[in-house]
Amino acid sequence: MEPQQEGLTRALTPGEVNLARSVFGSTIFYQSVLVHCDSYLPFGLQNQYTAMSPNGELYFRRSLYERDYANQDPEAQHLFIHEMAHVWQHQKGMWVRTRGLLSWAVSYQYRLDQPLLRHYSMERQASIIADYFILKRYGANTFFRLPNRKLIGIVDRWTLSQFQPIIRSAGLPL
């Protein structure tokens, strides 16, 4: 299949809504979320391998854009859920755009050492949610092999249960 040309804007697909709903339940107004195959930054300044969701919409450059993330591999779905976490944060009132200005300088890696999701930084929250999604949906073997997972620590059969109280603290479905 030929790569998508930039400049496209679309709604979430039904599969993407179902994928996101498995993590965020009804806490996101999905009808308002748009997916762009384009740079959020002017003059195409958004890096080809960086996704952004500063305003409740998702921006993927051509190298990361997919027509339907629900039909993609776990790595692409991990990225999609990470970006949907920023949509969730935006819709809950977090100043994602302002905080995102420093995202290049912050660590996305985390330890599960805080009891509440809100005790983690914006990017760590999104990483925790995306990592939890992969672990829950695909299991520890896929999670362990995921190149962009951010959890620092041992991954074993108990890891999922370590995520659950943190996810629950944010009102997200388990």
The predicted structure's pLDDT at residue 97 = 59
Band (46; pLDDT cuts 50, 70, 90): confident
CB-based contacts of 161, cutoff 8 Å, min separation 6: none
Indicate if the pLDDT at residue 120 is higher than 60: yes
The two structure tokens encoding residue 2: 């030929």
Q: How far is CA 52 from the centre of its chain?
A: 10
The predicted structure's pLDDT at residue 108 = 82
- From the candidates 16, 57, 66, 83, give the one annotated as an active-site residue: 83
The pLDDT tens digits of the residues spanning 125-162 come to 999 999 999 999 999 999 989 988 889 988 888 899 99
Strands (E), the chain: 8-11, 34-37, 58-60
* Coil, strand or helix at 165: helix
The pLDDT tens digits of the residues spanning 66-112 come to 999 999 999 999 999 999 999 999 999 877 655 555 565 578 899 99
Query: How many H helices and E strands in the chain?
Result: 6, 3
* Average pLDDT, integer, range 40-46: 86
pTM over 0.85? The answer is: yes
HSE, CB side, 13 Å, CA atoms: give it for residue 75: 7
Beta carbons of 154 and 131 less than 8 angstroms apart: no
Residue 83: active-site member: yes
**Positive or negative, the Cα torsion across 77, 71, 144, 160?**
positive
The domain limits of the chain are 8-169
The two structure tokens encoding residue 93: 């009132």
The predicted structure's pLDDT at residue 98 = 55
Q: What is the dihedral of CA 129, 133, 134, 136, to 10 degrees?
A: 130
Q: How far apart are CA 103 and CA 84, in angstroms?
A: 16
